[in-house]
A and B are shown apart, each in its own frame.
Chain A
Amino acid sequence: MRYLPLCTVILALCAQVHSQPEPAPIPESRPELRPEPKLESRAESVAGVEAFDTPNDAGGSITVTWPKHPEASASTMYTVFLADAPSGPFLLVATVGADGSLKSDNPGMFGHDADNSHTHFAHIEIFPAVGEDEGTPLIDGKAYYVKVGLSPADDSVIPSSDGFGVPSGNAIEAVPGGNFFNWAKLNNFILGTFICLVILGYISVARRKELYIRRIAGLEAIDEALGRATEMGKPVLFVHGLKGMESIPTIAAVNILSRVARRTARLGTDLRVVNNEPIVMAVSQEVVKEAYLEEGRPDAYNPDSVFMAAPDQFSYAAAVAGMMVRDRPAAHIMMGYFYAESLLLAETGSTTGAIQIAGTDAYTQLPFFVTTCDYTLMGEELYAASAYLSREPRLLGSLKGQDVGKLVLIFGILVGTLMATFQMPFLTHLFTSY
């Protein structure tokens, strides 16, 4: 009987060892006592784990980072476990290969530090439900606990979603939440703000001082085209591109339409505006009507002259091409964002002998317009058109501001090219968008 307590202790120790196949983690302060790692026989806790709210996101996500394990081989695997209480249960939420998901793969979040290629990361957005296929999204403001283990390659410890194979050691706490500024877009914000300030500055300067704006032949030709249409007694056909009112090229096209409508109202020329989008049509009707009113010719405005030709791309092309051939307008003004229909319209128009002026920022369609039209507004000229036609000082000031912005970018490109040539990627990283 006197050996009974000793036997009990031995049995208890045996039971303890049997129920915990992993050895207790060795404190990092005593590395000399650390046994030889046996990655092929057990799951091991990974040191240096950090868990935090994922930066620059809408919320519902935490990010875990940990350094590469020095003994990790190509076949080993990191396992990330998550719990909603410090004591668990911990459930498997992510597995990362020995060479997978390095911080250097995501410079938008982690930057370009040299150490990033030695640190892994994982984003966690779902809290797994035990016994179910789908989990629940992480809740903002709630604390979650993370453990990262290094799994062996021989399946002796298979990590599973029911918590088997969870490494020992303390869990790291992280609380997900939404962010109010995307710091990855800071470079974009600074550059955008700078360009905006330059443009607004030049608008202010333009109020006091006359600015020189280079001649844009395509816009000078609009007056010529409208004059020709008036002399011939034929209509002017204004063709909108395919994009809706929410796109900038369409807004620019509507601005140009306003200037054109004022001139046709003044000259008494028939203006027809074809649309393929009902909102653009409604806005165009209003714009043309207002232009005729302002020119003192409300009687000359015909609401049926601004109409919807077709909502579909090629139906639109067929309808407009038919009008060009049948009605023989003296001038075709095509403004906005065009796709494959650009050549169908412009080539048909060129066979009718009309003066053709096109403007688009779709660089894939520019060659077609350049080939078939008399004048083409390329890219930014489309946006400059309204200001150029109005000659209003503040609008012209904004064009000057754009030019200065362009100069800054050209300088940045030149310096960046030089620096990249000499293996200094600083400027390239600075201008990278995320």
Chain B
Amino acid sequence: MLFLTRTLPLVIAFSCGVLAIAIYYVPHSAAQGMEEKLTLWLRIVAAFAYFLGLYSLLNLHWNRIRQHQAGWGYSVVAAVGFGLMFFFAVINDGDGPFAPQAKQGAYQWMFDNVQVACASTMFSLLAFFISSAAYRTFRARSPEATILLVAAVVVMLGRVPIGAYISDLIPEAMLWLLSVPNLAAKRGILLGVSLGAIGTALRIIFGIERSYLGGGEE
């Protein structure tokens, strides 16, 4: 049992890790074909995993409705929405479930007028959230916050016509801020991230990091 739960996953992780690294450096069509196969396998596994996700999602909302938990009405909306979308997808604008997905019909209408509209609403909320977050951040309570405030004001003014109207220096300062200190910080983070990713990959490939298998280090 320990072989199946520990040793075998570690062997698979090591083999796949080494293979993936090798494929990156080997341009031969055999290696590229193998990469395509691995990607295909990933998609197949993901397709089956979606059944698990669907079960989890429906189970979550069913339990909420059954137990009348706070906000259970939203779960009813989610369940009804799922049922309707599933029904219209099967009907497929009269073509049936085995035909390619129709470009029009009730399913597409629901997607365009409910799903897309709701997603756009959520996205547009960001404008208000950014405002409140910016208000908290730009309070100049420390020297660092003051620098941030000044930089933010310059960048915001430099992005709009009134900035150039006040002074030609403002757009230039904005460009300098974005392309020198901001870019340097970004690249610093990226370098750290890349090294961290290499370190994490090595820990997993060599079986040093095992917490993704659950539990212990050894």
B166 beta carbon closer than 8 Å to chain A: no
- Inter-chain contact A344/B129, CB cutoff 8 Å: yes
> How would residues 95 to 130 of chain B score, 1 for a CB under 8 Å from any chain A CB and 0 otherwise?
000000000000000000001001100110110011
**The residue from B71, B133, B193, B217 contacting A379, defined by CB atoms under 8 A apart:** B193
- Inter-chain contact A380/B57, CB cutoff 8 Å: no
A213 beta carbon closer than 8 Å to chain B: no
- Inter-chain contact B191/A409, CB cutoff 8 Å: yes
* Contact-residue bracket for chain A: 35 or more
Interface size on B, residues (CB 8 A): 66
- Inter-chain contact A252/B200, CB cutoff 8 Å: yes
Q: Which residue numbers of A lie inside 8 Å of B, CB to CB?
A: 56-60, 140, 178-182, 185, 189, 192, 195-196, 199-200, 203, 244, 246, 248, 251-252, 254-255, 258-259, 262, 275, 277-279, 281-283, 286-291, 293-294, 304, 307-315, 317-318, 322, 326-327, 340, 343-344, 347, 361, 363, 366, 368, 371-372, 378-384, 386-387, 390, 392, 394-395, 398-399, 401-402, 405-406, 409
Within 8 A of A (CB), among B175-218: 186, 189-193, 195-204, 206, 208-209, 211-217
- Inter-chain contact B215/A278, CB cutoff 8 Å: no
Residues of A close to B201: CB separation below 8 A = 248
B54, B132, B199, B212 — most chain A CB neighbours (10 Å): B199
**The residue from B49, B193, B200 contacting A278, defined by CB atoms under 8 A apart:** B49
Select from chain A the residue with minimum beta-carbon distance to B119.
A314
- Inter-chain contact A380/B195, CB cutoff 8 Å: yes
- Inter-chain contact B119/A406, CB cutoff 8 Å: no
**A387-B203, A398-B202 known; A185+B29 contact, CB < 8 A:** no
Select from chain B the residue with minimum beta-carbon distance to A262.
B215
**A347-B132, A380-B193 known; A315+B214 contact, CB < 8 A:** no
**The residue from A58, A379, A409 contacting B189, defined by CB atoms under 8 A apart:** A379
Cα(A378)–Cα(B212), bound, Å: 21
Cα(A337)–Cα(B48), bound, Å: 23
Cα(A401)–Cα(B137), bound, Å: 35
Residues of B close to A275: CB separation below 8 A = 53
Count of A-B contacts judged by CB separation below 8 Å: 214
Q: Is chain B's interface secondary structure helix, strand, loop, or mixed overall?
A: helix
Cα(A3)–Cα(B164), bound, Å: 92
Cα(A199)–Cα(B202), bound, Å: 8
B87 beta carbon closer than 8 Å to chain A: no
**The residue from A259, A278, A406 contacting B192, defined by CB atoms under 8 A apart:** A406
> How would residues 46 to 75 of chain B score, 1 for a CB under 8 Å from any chain A CB and 0 otherwise?
100111111011011001000000110010
B133, B134, B136, B186 — most chain A CB neighbours (10 Å): B133
- Inter-chain contact B46/A361, CB cutoff 8 Å: no
Cα(A236)–Cα(B115), bound, Å: 30
**The residue from A308, A343, A390 contacting B129, defined by CB atoms under 8 A apart:** A343
- Inter-chain contact B28/A196, CB cutoff 8 Å: no
B25 beta carbon closer than 8 Å to chain A: yes
Select from chain B the residue with minimum beta-carbon distance to A57.
B27
- Inter-chain contact A402/B195, CB cutoff 8 Å: yes
Cα(A402)–Cα(B26), bound, Å: 26
Cα(A192)–Cα(B49), bound, Å: 34
**The residue from A56, A387, A390 contacting B27, defined by CB atoms under 8 A apart:** A56
Select from chain A the residue with minimum beta-carbon distance to B212.
A254
